[in-house]
Structure 1
Amino acid sequence: MEKDKNRYKILVIEDNAGDFALIEDFLDEQISSPEIFQAKNFKEGRSLLVEEKLPVNVILLDLSLPDKSGENLIMEIVALSAGIPIIVLTGYPDISFSVKSLSLGVSDYLLKDELSASNLYKSILYSIERKKKSAELEESEKRYSDLFQLSPQPMWVYDLETLQFMNVNDAAIRHYGYNLEEFLEMTISDIRPVEDLNQVEESLNQTRRQSTFHYNGISRHRKKNGEIIQAEIQSNVIYINGKKARVVLVNDITERLHYIEAIERQNQKLQEIAWLQSHVVRAPVARLMGIVDLIKNYHHSENEKKELLDHMLISANELDGIIRDIANKTKLI
């Protein structure tokens, strides 16, 4: 079997010279050029990890050291290791303690009597790879957590069965006025107006029937101060710890809708003005043009002229009134 050519740096915390020599032989058998560092007690190990900040890929830890042992030793080394994988090597086959060791943060638990070059190498390899994947997963979870918490728009996750809020981001807390504790004691029905609850139940029933159902729509929400807002909702079904939930992104479009309504009212007024200009104004203008034509092209008696001038004045007054009405409507836009 070809040796592993990777440059592994391994810290062995072991006080027994024979056991340390055996570990060295096992490592040399599987790895081309391992860099092996020894600490003969807890104090030396702490010095290498904390004071010298020794960069190692894995720690092989004997549980019976002169100055510390057992559970206390594990807890201390885990605290000092800064995430470096720790493999316990011990001569005591205590299954319950081995399980507890893993819960304390140890990567693996190997018995010295059963130790071989192959299983030691595999344990080191698996521990390093497991730690790498764990770090990648933590980074991924942090990244998605940041996307949730640092979003400038309100977001939350709620349980599809109980409708209970499971988590809300800071933007939701600021926008709706409830603190985190209040949110987590509420359901999504608590932020909806009472008159909309039937619509909420209908939408939820549809969502429960379709596991991949994506929702995009507008709903009315109620803030803590009682203000009703128009919320544009985008949401998807997700699973958290085996529970079917829904993640929701909220965009408050209340001001936008008010702006659109104002524009529509202005357009309606402009249409009314345009109608006045194209229809109402034409009538008195047409009469004035007709009267002017009669005066200009036909002979009339004094009484007829007076009557025509009276009609002209009436039409002029009517036109003046229409123009004033248009001006008043324009001021209101």
Structure 2
Amino acid sequence: MIKDKKTYHILVVEDNPGDYLLITDYLEEHISNPNIIHTQNYKETKRQIETSTQKMDVVLLDLSLPDKSGDELIENILEICEDTPVIVLTGYSDIDFSINSISKGIADYLLKDELTGDSLYKSIIYCIERLKKNNELFESEKRYSELFHLSPLPMWVYDIDTLEFLDVNDAAQKHYGYSSEEFLSMTLKDIRPPQDMPAFEEQLKIARQYPKEFISGVFRHIKKNGEIIDVDVQSNYIQYKGRNARVILVNDITDRLEYISAIETKNKELQDIAWLQSHVMRAPVAKILGIVHLLQRIDLDEVEKTILLNDLNACASEIDLVIHDIAKKTHEARLK
């Protein structure tokens, strides 16, 4: 038989010498070099766990100790063992008690009469790996929670079928003005303007048709105070507490769109000014050039010269009006 060469630190809590020797034999049957610590009562066990610098990989616990037993022993052991898996080894085959023990946090419940080296080794390995996976899952959920709740941008999770809010972060509460309790009593429809409902229903059909696809878009939302904002929404599928859901990231782009609109308006005004300069002024300037050409002729009589000078004055006045109009529009554009 190939033995497990990994070093396991195992605390055996057993007051019966015969049972302890049997457990030791079972452990050495499958593990090359088990580091076994032996205690015989709760008080000794508590001192060992609290003072030892070496963390135990697993605790094998007999349910009947001289100073504690049963439910009380289980509860006290679990308190001091924290994240170390505890496997109960007992001679009592009470199914209800075993189920209750598992529900309290016991990793496994094994009967001594049915114990073998194989069953004990498998239980130890399964419990250690299960704890490892649970810790990884806990860390993953913790990271998700931190990314979600500490995000500077509004985020929420909603149920795909009912549209109910399932979770919202602090940024969403601050930005929209609703408390967490208010959000969790609402649906997505409550933050959409009534006039946008037909478009919302169409968007919802697409989202439900492709529930696990990444979806993004620009929509309108309404805050608690009635203010309507433009938002860039990023949406992705997530399983949340057994429900089909979507996690939403919201970026308020109202100010950005207003700024772009203002820039476009200003560009239009500048285009109008440029058109005035390039087209409206061209006509009187062309007239002036023509009049100057005629005045340069020496064969004009006084009447003709007077007419041309009047025309020249009229063109100058027309240019003056255009210049004033350009100056006015430029000033207005600068103020905006």
Measure the CA separation in 2 of the matches of 1:332 and 1:49. 80
Corresponding residue number in structure 2 for 1:78: 78
Deviations 1:165-203 (A, max 9, x none): 111111111111111011001111111111112222222
Q: How does 1:16-55 map to 2 (within 5 A)?
A: 16-55=16-55
Answer yes or no: is 1:182 the counterpart of 2:178: no
Measure the CA separation in 1 of the matches of 2:54 and 2:91. 27
Contact map agreement 1:12 1:59 (CA 8 A) in 2: yes
Measure the CA separation in 2 of the matches of 1:120 and 1:318. 105
1:53 Cα deviation from its structure 2 partner:
4.5
Corresponding residue number in structure 2 for 1:306: 306
Q: Could you tell me which amino acid in structure 2 is paired with residue 224 of structure 1? A: K
Q: What SS does the aligned partner of 1:271 have? A: helix
Q: What SS does the aligned partner of 1:266 have? A: helix
Ranges in structure 2 where 5+ consecutive residues have no aligned partner: none
1:67 Cα deviation from its structure 2 partner:
1.5
Is the alpha carbon distance of 1:70 and 1:53 closer, same or farther for their aligned partners in structure 2, counting shifts above 3 Å? Answer: farther
Q: Could you tell me which amino acid in structure 2 is paired with residue 153 of structure 1? A: L
1:45 Cα deviation from its structure 2 partner:
1.1
Corresponding residue number in structure 2 for 1:151: 151
Corresponding residue number in structure 2 for 1:128: 128
Measure the CA separation in 1 of the matches of 2:256 and 2:137. 40
Q: What SS does the aligned partner of 2:274 have? A: helix
Q: What SS does the aligned partner of 2:296 have? A: helix
Measure the CA separation in 1 of the matches of 2:227 and 2:162. 25
Corresponding residue number in structure 1 for 2:200: 200
Contact map agreement 1:27 1:121 (CA 8 A) in 2: yes
Answer yes or no: is 1:326 the counterpart of 2:296: no
Is the alpha carbon distance of 1:81 and 1:53 closer, same or farther for their aligned partners in structure 2, counting shifts above 3 Å? Answer: farther
Task: Indicate the larger mover: 302-311 or 54-63.
Answer: 302-311
1:82 Cα deviation from its structure 2 partner:
2.1
Q: In percent, how many aligned pairs have the same letter? A: 56
Corresponding residue number in structure 2 for 1:261: 261
1:253 Cα deviation from its structure 2 partner:
0.8
Deviations 1:221-267 (A, max 9, x none): 01111110001112123333442222211111101110110111011
Deviations 1:282-333 (A, max 9, x none): 1111111111111123332223222222211111111111111111111122
Measure the CA separation in 2 of the matches of 1:8 and 1:298. 120
Q: Could you tell me which amino acid in structure 2 is paired with residue 143 of structure 1? A: R
Measure the CA separation in 2 of the matches of 1:178 and 1:298. 86
Q: What SS does the aligned partner of 1:55 have? A: coil
Measure the CA separation in 2 of the matches of 1:275 and 1:254. 31
* TM-score, structure 2 normalization: 0.95
Measure the CA separation in 2 of the matches of 1:161 and 1:125. 41
Q: How does 1:105-124 map to 2 (within 5 A)?
A: 105-124=105-124
1:30 Cα deviation from its structure 2 partner:
1.5
Measure the CA separation in 2 of the matches of 1:237 and 1:54. 43
Corresponding residue number in structure 2 for 1:244: 244
Q: What SS does the aligned partner of 1:167 have? A: strand
Measure the CA separation in 2 of the matches of 1:121 and 1:19. 16
1:207 Cα deviation from its structure 2 partner:
2.2
Q: How many residues align?
A: 333
Corresponding residue number in structure 2 for 1:224: 224
1:99 Cα deviation from its structure 2 partner:
1.1
Q: Could you tell me which amino acid in structure 1 is paired with residue 76 of structure 2? A: E
1:213 Cα deviation from its structure 2 partner:
3.9
Task: Indicate the larger mover: 266-275 or 295-304.
Answer: 295-304
Corresponding residue number in structure 2 for 1:141: 141
Measure the CA separation in 2 of the matches of 1:178 and 1:226. 12
Q: Could you tell me which amino acid in structure 2 is paired with residue 324 of structure 1? A: H
Q: What SS does the aligned partner of 1:297 have? A: coil
Cα RMSD after superposing both structures:
1.5
Q: Could you tell me which amino acid in structure 1 is paired with residue 318 of structure 2? A: E
Measure the CA separation in 2 of the matches of 1:298 and 1:18. 140
Measure the CA separation in 1 of the matches of 2:230 and 2:211. 26
1:3 Cα deviation from its structure 2 partner:
1.5
Q: What SS does the aligned partner of 1:186 have? A: coil
Task: Indicate the larger mover: 167-176 or 146-155.
Answer: 146-155
Q: Could you tell me which amino acid in structure 1 is paired with residue 300 of structure 2? A: H
Contact map agreement 1:48 1:54 (CA 8 A) in 2: no
1:95 Cα deviation from its structure 2 partner:
1.0
